[in-house]
Amino acid sequence: MTENGHFVTLAGVSKRFGNNEVLHTIDLSVDLHQVVCLIGASGSGKSTLLRCLNLLEPVDAGTIVIDGQTITNGPVDVNVLRRKIGIVFQAFNLFPHMTVLQNITLAPRKARGLTKAQADAEARELLDRIGLVDKANEFPDRLSGGQQQRVAIVRALAMEPKLMLLDEITSALDPQLVSEVLNLVRELAQTGMTMILATHEMSFAQEVADKVCFLDAGVICEEGPPQQIFTAPKEPRTREFLSRIIEAGRL
Amino acid sequence: MGRFLHAFFSPLGLRRAVPQVWDGFQTNIKLMVVAEVLVLALALLIAIVRGLPGRSTFPLRALAIAYTDFFRGTPLILVAYVTALGLPSLQLSFVSNQSLFVYGVLSLTLVYTAYVTEVYRAGIESVHPSQRMAARSLGLNYAQTLRYVILPQAIRRVVPPLLNDFIGLQKDTAIITVVGVTEALAQAGFYSNDFFSYAGYMVAAIFFVLLTIPFARFTDNLIKQRERRERAQLA
C-alpha cells in the first residue's frame, strides 16, 4: 500500500495511439477491497485504462502505483507484476487447444511454480466453487459462453491475484448467460477482492460498485458513489449518457 | 506402340530392374528421413528467430530473413552442385571431407528449411494476438507463451502444408543424383545403360509414387478432419 493508503493510484496518466489520445491525464485511486466500475460509451478509453494497469499497454505520461510499487517507470518485471493482477477479457480468450483444467493450471505451474498435483487440486477446488468441476476435461469450445467466461475468471483467480480487472466481460454473452457470470463477480466482491471493471451493465454497477467513474473521450468526466452518479449526476455529459442508457432499457 | 511398351514396360525388364533400383531407392528414403527431421527442427528455430520482439534482436531477424530469401530463390540443383562439389574443393578439414550423402542432406536441408520456415511463420501469425495477450497477462513470459500457447496452435494449423512440402522434398531427393549419390534415379540410369531398357526409370517412378500416395492421402484426411471439426464448432 502507498503512503496515502490507496491500493492503486493513477496520476496524470495519458495514452495515445498515433495522433489519437485515448486517455487524457487520468487521476484515479482504488482502495483495497474496493470495487470500481468504469462506465462510458465504447471508445471512451475504459479498456485501454485497464490494459495500462497491467502494462499490456505502456503509458505515455503519468504514473501508476499498484500495491506500493511504481510500475510506470524504472525497472519493472512485468511478469511478476502481472501475477498479482488478474484480467478477464470480453472475448474470454481461453486457450482452445487445452482442456479447462489445463487452461487454469498452466500459469500456476509455469509462473507460480506449483507442481501439477498442487495446481490440479487448486483448479478443481475453484471449478467446484463455480459448479463446473465436471467440465474439467472438456475443451473450451464444448462450453457455453457463460461457462467459458466463468472458466476465464477462475483461470485468472488461480494466480491468486490481489487485483482483478474485468473488461466488459458480459458484452459477448447471450442475455440469459449474463447473470451466471455476474453472480460470480458478485461473490468475488463479497469476498473482498479489489476489482476494477469496465461494464455496460448499469444495474450491476449500481449494485456492486463502491465507486463509479464515467469516462468520456479519454477523460474521467465524473466519479462518485453509485447512488450519486446514477440518480443525481452533476455533469451534463454524464446525464446525457445515462439518459441514452435508460432509453435503451439498460438501467 | 509395341516398341514403346517394350522399351518402358517389358515385364522382364521391370522385374529385373526392381532389385537394382530398390537398392538405390533406399538411399532416397534415408536422404528424405534425415533431411525432414533436420528441416522440421531448423525451420522452427528460424521461424521463432524471425518473430523475436525488440530492436536488439534485429541483426538475428535480418539474418533469418536473408537466409530464407536466398535459399527459397536458389534452385536445389545449384545448391547441390555448390555443396557437393564446391565444399570439398575448399580442402577444409571438417567441411570438405564429408560423404556425398552428407552433402546431399545438406543441400536438401538448406533449401527446404527456407520453405518450411515460411510455413511455420504463417502458422504463428495466424494465432490471434488475443491469445498472446491472455497468456502474458497471466504472468507467463515470452518464451513460455510461445512454447505453451502460440506454437501448439500454430503447428496444428500448418500440418497439412508441412506434409505438402515433404512430398516435394521426397521427390527432390532424386536431384541429388547429379552430384553422384547412387540413389534410385542413378541406379535406373545404370540399368538402362546395361540393358538398353527404360524399365528402370519406370520402376523408380513407381517407387516414388508408392511413397507419396499414402502421404498425400494422409494429408487429405487431415484437412478433411480439420474442416469437419471447424464446421462442428460453427453449428
* H-run or E-run covering A206: helix A202-208
Q: Is B136 on the interface with A (CB under 8 A)?
A: yes
| Cβ contact B130–A89 (<8 Å) | yes
The verdict on residue B4 lying in a domain is no
Domain count along chain B = 1
Phi, psi for B138 (deg, rounded to 5): -85, -5
The verdict on residue B9 lying in a domain is no
Express each pLDDT in B153-171 by its tens digit: 999 889 889 988 999 999 9
CATH classification at residue B211:
1.10.3720.10
Q: What range defines the domain where residue B180 resides?
A: 14-234
- Output B87 or A26, whichever has higher pLDDT: A26
Question: Would you list the DSSP string of B5-51?
Answer: HHHHH-HHHHHHHHHHHHHHHHHHHHHHHHHHHHHHHHHHHHHHHHT
User: Mind telling me how many Å the CA of B228 is from chain A's nearest CA?
Assistant: 14
Express each pLDDT in B98-133 by its tens digit: 889 999 999 999 999 999 999 999 999 999 999 999
User: Mind telling me how many Å the CA of A86 is from chain B's nearest CA?
Assistant: 7
Q: Is B226 on the interface with A (CB under 8 A)?
A: no
Mean of pLDDT values over B172-180: 88
- Output B87 or A29, whichever has higher pLDDT: A29
Q: Residues near A250 by Cβ (< 8 Å), separated by ≥ 6?
A: A200, A201, A202, A203
Helix ranges, chain B (H): 2-9, 11-50, 58-73, 76-81, 87-89, 93-96, 100-126, 129-137, 142-144, 151-172, 184-195, 199-234
Task: Enter the DSSP assignment of A5.
Answer: S
Q: Which residue of A83, A97, A112 is in closest CB contact with B152?
A: A97
* Residue B185 banded pLDDT, cuts 50, 70, 90: confident
Structural contact between residues B179 and B104, judged by C-beta atoms closer than 8 angstroms: yes
| Cβ contact B139–A111 (<8 Å) | yes
Mean of pLDDT values over A150-176: 94
| Cβ contact B153–A97 (<8 Å) | yes
The verdict on residue B8 lying in a domain is no
The verdict on residue B137 lying in a domain is yes
C-alpha cell at A41: 460509451
* Residue B210 banded pLDDT, cuts 50, 70, 90: very high
Partner B, chain A 29-58, Cβ-Cβ below 8 Å: 54, 56
The verdict on residue B6 lying in a domain is no
Tell me which long-range contacts A67-73 makes (C-beta under 8 A, separation of at least 24).
A67/A1, A67/A7, A67/A8, A67/A162, A67/A163, A68/A1, A68/A2, A72/A13
Mean of pLDDT values over A142-150: 94
| Cβ contact B144–A80 (<8 Å) | no
Q: Which residue of A56, A97, A110 is in closest CB contact with B140?
A: A110
The verdict on residue B22 lying in a domain is yes
Which among A163, A189, A180, A177 has a CA at the least distance from the CA of A88?
A163
Q: Which residue of A has its CA nearest to B132?
A: A93
The verdict on residue B5 lying in a domain is no
Q: Which residue of A56, A106, A110 is in closest CB contact with B137?
A: A56
Amino acid at A100: V
Which among A224, A161, A216 has a CA at the least distance from the CA of A191?
A161
Express each pLDDT in A3-37 by its tens digit: 467 999 999 999 999 888 999 999 999 999 999 99
Average pLDDT, chain A: 92
Work out the burial of residue B170: count CB atoms within 10 Å of its CB; fewer than 13 is exposed, 13-18 middle, 19 or more buried: buried
Q: Which residue of A56, A82, A95 is in closest CB contact with B139?
A: A82
pTM: 0.86
Express each pLDDT in A214-235 by its tens digit: 999 999 999 999 999 999 999 9
Q: Is A83 on the interface with B (CB under 8 A)?
A: yes
What's the pLDDT score for residue A251?
63
Q: Is B134 on the interface with A (CB under 8 A)?
A: yes
| Cβ contact B134–A82 (<8 Å) | no
Which among A206, A207, A223, A204 has a CA at the least distance from the CA of A215?
A223
The verdict on residue B3 lying in a domain is no
